[in-house]
Amino acid sequence: MKAEDKKSKRKEDVKKTILNAAKKLFVEEGYQSASIRKIAAEIGVSPTTIYLYYKDKSDIAYALHQEGFLVLKTLFSSLVSVEDPFERLKAIGRTYIRFALESPDFYELMFIMKDPMDHLDADSGEECWEEGKQVFEFLVFTIEECQQKGYFVGSDVSSTALQAWATVHGLCSLFISTHLQKVGEECLSQEDTELLLETAFKTYVHFLEQTKNNHK
């Protein structure tokens, strides 16, 4: 390996180490409590070393935010092969839920914490959320194809996609924040909250299925 390649690899390794430590502290202590100094102490370097790679804590949060979207985009990419658009739409929802359950730390950074978006606006001077846009466009594309099969006829495609996203996001957020668990245990006598989440999603899918029957 060339010296230049070794240097580049070492830089990427250090950045990865910083991000992993930051993610750990963000989850364990909360974003506000996790300082640059604590992140540096976690990996045994000086705060100055952190600043060689990231200008501040919000820059680190946004880098993690981008990493999470890359993972989600990769998961969605595997769904392109699902030919039936409504089946693909269901698969997108299930994949999104699975991602939220398996990577709640990334999910919170990507869809709940406001700090990465604040960083984006401050850094660019305008609202431009490329990684989120790419993921959302795949959902819009799928909704468009569903319309061609008779679903959501007469509905605005982007608004329908936003509603679908918001609904599934709401279920995931309730689960991650443990609100769903409380409702399940105390109000619905349902201890298996993942099953409750699955049931709620199936109910929503059933509602979506009716849009085809209602617009013949």
Phi-psi sector, 150: left (phi>0), alpha (psi -120 to 50), beta: left
Mean pLDDT, rounded, for 114-126: 68
- Host domain of residue 15: 1-54
Number of domains into which the chain is organized: 2
Residue 192 has pLDDT above 70, yes or no: yes
Predicted confidence (pLDDT) per residue in 129-148, tens digit:
777 888 999 999 999 999 99
Q: Give pTM, 2 decimals.
A: 0.84
Tell me which DSSP letter residue 183 carries.
I
Residues 157, 207 within the same domain: yes
- The pLDDT score that the predictor gives to residue 188 is 65
**Are residues 38 and 74 located together in one domain of the fold?**
no
Residue 113: phi and psi, rounded to 5, are -70, 135
Give the pLDDT band of residue 215 (cuts 50, 70, 90): very low
Token digits of residue 115: 């700090």
* CATH number, residue 91: 1.10.357.10
Share of the chain above pLDDT 90, in %: 52
48: Cβ–Cβ under 8 A, 6 or more apart, which residues? none
Write down the H helix ranges in 83-125: 85-102, 104-111, 115-124
Q: Are residues 198 and 153 in the same domain?
A: yes
Higher pLDDT pick, 126 / 117: 117
The percentage of residues in the chain with a pLDDT greater than 70, rounded to a whole number, is: 89
**80 and 32 belong to one structural domain:** no
Domain end position, chosen among 34, 54, 74: 54
Quick one: pLDDT at residue 208? 94
Q: How far apart are CA 177 and CA 179, in angstroms?
A: 6
- CATH number at 7 reads 1.10.10.60
Rg of the Cα atoms in the chain = 20
- Shared-domain flag, residues 31 and 116: no
Quote the pLDDT of residue 29.
84
Mean per-residue pLDDT for 6-21?
88
On whether the CB atoms of residues 18 and 53 are closer than 8 A, the answer is yes
72 and 93 within one domain: yes
40-50: per-residue pLDDT in tens?
Answer: 999 999 999 99
What is the pLDDT averaged over residues 55-80?
91
Question: Residue 25 CA to chain centroid, in angstroms?
Answer: 19
Please indicate, yes or no, whether residues 49 and 65 belong to a single structural domain of this protein.
no
Q: Last residue of some domain: 54, 80, 98?
A: 54
pLDDT tens-digit readout, 154-182: 999 999 999 999 999 999 999 888 888 88
